[in-house]
Structure 1
């Protein structure tokens, strides 16, 4: 195939972590389809970033990060036909025809090279099943892969990338996974599945995901295994240049860095030229939370041990559940090469993501969570309304594909398409 800029459609796009990797690698987004309204604003803001950057108007985007212009004013600088490529609808039988119509308009008759995306993972995740009385068997999200298949059938892309949690392989005793592979195969695709570990692709986080890559049989591609891509660093590297905060503190737009960054934040493209720090804000914590956080940090720093809930003083134990999730309070250990997995539950509380500095005594900020996921600092997470929305930002970050890992996937796919 030729060396053109390949295009893609992003389904179940979320905040655009997967898309960020493909965009960086030279792919052109036809459209993003996402049901969450806040995430759609985030996608539009990122589209605005790329449009302004590519047209030598990055100062306009910086003005937004600095709070000098509103979101509405930022969007007014972008052609509406570009912003309209973000389609805020749930994928499913009720909306598919409408989405198809919009995709047809944005593709302008072009052949689609690639479809990427992964349905919401809660129905397949081990944590989700452990909390559910019926093990999530009745959850309709189990069958969203059927909708993904509808888009493969409609647009017949050369390749697709389907991303999800490891629990996909074991959910319903593996039946969903087997059905999925058979369905995609019946649509004319050769399927290869991989387990990718984020910390082997430059991300300072333990995060395993299953990746299905499909290509049309007539392409007869040789699909090799992924090569690791490690950037030597410690988790402390993501904290070092950020200002100290106490619980409940921070500035949404904008703050200054405490100092120059270490090599990792530049190598991983977290700091990439726009020296405007945003969303370094953290949630307030109760007096009880902060007492527990101090115990957890001291235990880790002094004994290298994780806090078990039952070992807390009785006056700090308020949960009736003492048999599961006993490690619900966990420090983000600075001296390790990867943190615990950042998940969407961080939107509900930060107990599993305690900052390692006992003097700050808080859970991690939005920006720190984004850095653990390898999002660049110029990536702005929106709420439905303009302004600070920690909950919406944390949810989007926890649900996302780390952009650095996505970029490795995109480079891999591009090589196959160019073969």
Structure 2
């Protein structure tokens, strides 16, 4: 297209979905998609979103990237620099801190979109309405509240704020992301997913809002496509715009994308709905669109592993919650390694073979005898020349806009502090995983009394997954916002580092480029990373959306030529 395709990003978080769309380039190097507006209510995530908008504007300005990297290394904030203040103001206009669902938030956004989208019919809406009410963990928590009523939980219906924008402004395409739990979530006896599909199919009926006259027609509404199965879209009936034929509930899983099957080093399973406006579906054909947006899968033998994307990062040690120093930390690690090794050798287990216990104990004793390595807790970004720049596409993606001849610039890479008891558990679990190639299973395999957490019901069997290692030879388990609370579910696979993942490591598993900086305190940074859409996955979805938009443009060009003829 001669002009970039406008994008509006709702419930944007730190901007993972928008980053993927913004990364698509045309043959001349300019951006294929241009974010008009992104919206996020969380102040820390909004600051991250604004800073990344500035990054893109600065990158495209031809002024160089020093204003951005200087800030990341402790220099002036871009808003304080006279040479780039105009770009910072543009970034602030793009990234809005608004609470959708509130009167003021909705009004400000709708006023802005009326202005920005005037005369623009073929634009793209992206976003993922908050998912706490749909997630399996959230529903378990809600069941523990005897006063909880799902029909009174506004979070079930935040997708309607997304729907309202579709109804009022009619994008050519929308991409909606959410947790897999959306498929099985119920309000009363009814699964909510079927209602969501029906609302998205006919936004006028669902909201009462009519869209712009320029895109309204007898075939008003949307067809919802899967990026995983070209045979599944909604509505699917003999006549495309007749009364919709309901999908079977088992077909709902066709809307789930498994990130590890698409080159992402993480087993992240999410619902992706791609809606295409029905005037476009009429001209192009549902089957053509369904085929166009299918995501090619990588085979199991080429899945990206955690080690492939984490090994490049500098090794760090965890900290001690009290009286931390390098010497004190190493003394603690040696002490607990020796203690746990001897206990393993002495105490029988019904679930771990004696030979395996011996192997784990021997590995722990090696750690206890290891020399002092002078590991730091925090990586200080200092430029170092590298003999060879990034060569693979994935390496280039992670490197971002950094100088390809420089290595060592990793941000948000700082290890947490832990209590000695947690260090003992992390050391045992990581060593177990190194030897056994899997995480230990709850109290069955974390069976030593000295490793038992201070929970009255630890041995009840309810905590089988309380301590999990990110295995080096597999894609990571799903990075979630729970990583902000503790590191128990995300233990680094290297027992010599004995710690949980840093923000940067979690961000790498989410495929954020290394120069993507997360604002806020460390807890806020973890939440942002855990809630985000992996940008590289978003880029691959965006490439498929581009194919549809290219067909739209080609069709309109043919129509214009026919009129002129």
Residue of structure 1 equivalent to 2:540: 408
Which SS does the other structure have where 1:115 is aligned?
strand
User: What is the TM-score of this pair, normalised by structure 1?
Assistant: 0.91
1:369 to 480, 495, 506: 506
**Counterparts in 2 of 1:162 and 1:312: CA distance versus 1, 3 Å:** same
2:256 to 186, 195, 217: 195
Residue of structure 2 equivalent to 1:332: 470
Is 1:303 paired with 2:364? no
Q: Deviations over 1:196-247 (max 9, x none)?
A: 1111222100001111111111112422232225765432122222211111
**Counterparts in 2 of 1:314 and 1:71: CA distance versus 1, 3 Å:** farther
Residue of structure 1 equivalent to 2:418: 285
2:182 to 147, 151, 168: 168
Q: Deviations over 1:15-59 (max 9, x none)?
A: 000000000112010100111011110011101111111112212
Contact kept? 1:234, 1:334, Cα under 8 Å? yes
Supply the RMSD in Å over aligned alpha carbons: 2.4
**Counterparts in 2 of 1:63 and 1:6: CA distance versus 1, 3 Å:** same
Q: Deviations over 1:120-163 (max 9, x none)?
A: 11111112112222687243111111111111111111111110
Q: Deviations over 1:302-359 (max 9, x none)?
A: 12342233233224331234333411111111122x0110000001111111111111
1:223 to 263, 271, 290: 290
Is 1:270 paired with 2:331? no
Q: CA deviation at 1:108?
A: 5.5
Residue of structure 1 equivalent to 2:195: 179
**Distance in 1 separating the partners of 2:315 and 2:531:** 26
Which SS does the other structure have where 2:7 is aligned?
strand
Structure number with higher helix proportion: 2
**Distance in 2 separating the partners of 1:258 and 1:58:** 18
Is 1:396 paired with 2:467? no
Ranges in structure 2 where 5+ consecutive residues have no aligned partner: 25-31, 204-220, 227-254, 320-375, 552-565
Ranges in structure 1 where 5+ consecutive residues have no aligned partner: 384-388
Q: Deviations over 1:66-103 (max 9, x none)?
A: 22223543673525243222111111142211221233
Q: CA deviation at 1:267?
A: 4.0
**Distance in 1 separating the partners of 2:78 and 2:380:** 12
Structure with max Cα Rg:
2
Q: Describe how 1:44-55 pairs up with structure 2 within 5 A.
A: 44-55=50-61
Q: How many residues align structurally?
A: 412
Which SS does the other structure have where 1:297 is aligned?
helix
**Counterparts in 2 of 1:376 and 1:407: CA distance versus 1, 3 Å:** same
**Distance in 2 separating the partners of 1:53 and 1:136:** 48
Which SS does the other structure have where 1:162 is aligned?
strand
Residue of structure 2 equivalent to 1:152: 166
**Distance in 2 separating the partners of 1:273 and 1:293:** 35
Contact kept? 2:264, 2:304, Cα under 8 Å? no
Contact kept? 2:437, 2:471, Cα under 8 Å? no
**Counterparts in 2 of 1:101 and 1:361: CA distance versus 1, 3 Å:** same
Q: Which moved more, 1:62-71 or 1:143-152?
A: 62-71
**Counterparts in 2 of 1:335 and 1:192: CA distance versus 1, 3 Å:** same
1:344 to 473, 477, 481: 481
**Distance in 1 separating the partners of 2:149 and 2:273:** 22
Residue of structure 2 equivalent to 1:239: 310
Q: Deviations over 1:236-262 (max 9, x none)?
A: 122222211111454476355797788
Q: CA deviation at 1:182?
A: 0.8
**Distance in 2 separating the partners of 1:131 and 1:418:** 45
**Counterparts in 2 of 1:253 and 1:12: CA distance versus 1, 3 Å:** farther
**Distance in 2 separating the partners of 1:77 and 1:247:** 41
User: What is the TM-score of this pair, normalised by structure 2?
Assistant: 0.69
Which SS does the other structure have where 1:163 is aligned?
strand
